[in-house]
Amino acid sequence: MRDLAVQKMAENQQMAQVMQYQRQMQQMQMMQLKSQAAGQMWPDMDGSTVAQPRADQRPGDWTCASCGANCFASKTECFKCRKPKDGQRIGGGQPAAPEKLGGEFWEKPRTEVGMKLLGEQTPHVKWDYILSDDSRRCYAGYLPSPFSQESKQAFFEEIRDGTSWVQPEGRQGPIPRKTAWMVSPGCNCHYTYGNISVEPQTYPQWMVQLMQEVMPYCGINSQSEWPNSCNLNLYSDGGMSVGWHADDESLFQGKFSDIYIISLSLGVTRKFELRTNWPEDGEKHLRRCSLKSGDLMTMEGMVQKHYQHRVPKEENIQGPRINLTWRWTLKHRPTCPSGRRRR
């Protein structure tokens, strides 16, 4: 009897150990899932800690070799331990860098493909190219406001009051800005990015009048050559923003061909930043400028393939800003009348 009791006690202890191990494994899995979403550190199976990729990581972000913190590509040192960047890229399912054509070139030279910059077609104004990356065929032009204060104020009020603004729900709640998507007559393409789809509004009369004012400064004098779509964002104050992204949706074909995007800023001054997706050692990978009311900006060539851009939060900024980005929709939805006309 005593032997049976001892055997039973041993079996109970073994069962308790198994159940405790299962509970620990469940807790470990929960920690891993939570930390993976937040980009935190979590214990590996051997008790060591490993960094998990954040959901918002993009090409160029890096992991600190010292503490494992996840750092933005624009930073040259770790925000947590202040150790210098070691150049290690975070995988996290992000696409690998495209192969170079040879030497320093990622894309064929602009002279070889016959690409012209918008700033080259406007002899009456001088554009300043804050980004001129010949190796990637990527360019970003800047033109200080050519408009009077009265015109800028009139533009702002007309757009603010004449637009049906929406604030779509993203994966983590409402996006931190109001937006609208406008298209030329005959197009019914939605603008879809992530899990958000914005319904189109046909160009109102004020948009036509505004483009008559803006497009000549971009070397586009014929209405038949105007952009056929426009994304509008309204930032109520410095707490509203748009994170790192590229306008690489299939509508615009920016991953596969040279495209042009024209931006007009109205309202308070806000920062605009560009960063390289796959920066090389010693390369300047961040460009930054302040866009004032009436300023024009372009992104030209293969920028949407090789670069990302954002409007960061600026908590000390009071007052609203409106930004319009005109684009050329090249690949319409199959059901879009404009797409059928093109075929």
Ordered per-residue pLDDT tens for the chain, 343 residues: 555 555 666 666 666 665 665 665 565 555 544 444 444 333 332 333 334 444 445 566 767 665 566 777 666 666 655 556 644 333 344 567 888 888 889 999 999 999 999 999 998 999 999 999 999 999 999 999 999 999 999 999 999 999 999 999 988 899 999 999 999 999 999 999 988 999 999 999 999 999 999 999 999 999 999 999 999 999 999 999 999 999 999 999 999 999 999 999 999 999 999 999 999 888 888 999 999 999 999 999 999 999 999 999 999 999 999 999 999 999 999 999 988 655 4
Report d(CA 159, CA 325) in Å as an integer.
13
Domain of 243, in residue numbers: 118-342
The one-letter amino acid at 137: R
What pLDDT, on a 0 to 100 scale, did the predictor assign at position 68? 63
The answer to whether the beta carbons of residues 253 and 47 sit under 8 Å apart is no
pLDDT at 65: 61
Q: Quote the number of domains for the chain.
A: 1
* pTM confidence score: 0.73
φ/ψ region of 149 (left if φ > 0, alpha if ψ in -120 to 50, else beta) reads alpha
| Alpha helices for the chain (secondary structure H) | 2-38, 110-113, 149-162, 205-214, 303-306, 337-342
How far, in Å, CA of 30 to CA of 107, rounded? 44
Measured on CA atoms in the order 211, 215, 221, 227, is the torsion positive or negative? negative
Separation between Cα atoms, residue 270 and residue 199, nearest integer Å: 27
Give me the pLDDT at residue 83, please.
59
pLDDT at residue 42, rounded to an integer: 33
HSE, side-chain direction, 13 A CA sphere, residue 89: 16
Instruction: Note whether residue 62 is domain-resident.
Output: no
In a domain? residue 315 = yes
Return the structure tokens found at 253: 């074909």
Residue 257's φ and ψ, nearest 5 degrees, are -150, 165
* Residue 185 lies inside a defined structural domain of this protein: yes
Q: Is residue 10 part of a domain?
A: no
CA distance 331 to 189: 10
Residue 52 Ramachandran class (φ > 0 left, ψ -120 to 50 alpha, else beta): beta
In a domain, 42, yes or no: no
DSSP reduced 3-state for 328: coil
Assess if residue 281 is contained within a domain.
yes
Task: Kindly state the DSSP code that residue 54 receives in the 8-state scheme.
Answer: P
State residue 329 phi and psi, 5-degree precision.
Answer: -75, 120
Given its phi and psi angles, is residue 198 left (phi above 0), alpha (psi -120 to 50 degrees) or beta? beta
**CATH code at position 330:** 2.60.120.590
Establish how many alpha carbons lie within 13 A of residue 167's alpha carbon, considering only the half-sphere containing its beta carbon: 12
Looking at residue 179, the DSSP 8-state letter turns out to be E
User: So what's the pLDDT on residue 54?
Assistant: 45
Alpha-helix runs per DSSP H in 39-142: 110-113
Q: Which helix (H) or strand (E) holds 243?
A: strand 242-245
State the Cα torsion 74-76-82-85 to the nearest 10°: 120
Task: Please tell me the predicted confidence (pLDDT) of residue 34.
Answer: 47
In a domain, 249, yes or no: yes
CB 82 within 8 A of CB 69: no
Q: Specify whether the CB–CB gap between 260 and 116 falls below 8 A.
A: no
Spatial distance between the Cα atoms of 210 and 218, rounded to a whole number of angstroms: 13
Instruction: Say if 284 falls within a structural domain.
Output: yes
Query: Which has the closest alpha carbon to 168: 180, 158, 185, 160?
Result: 180
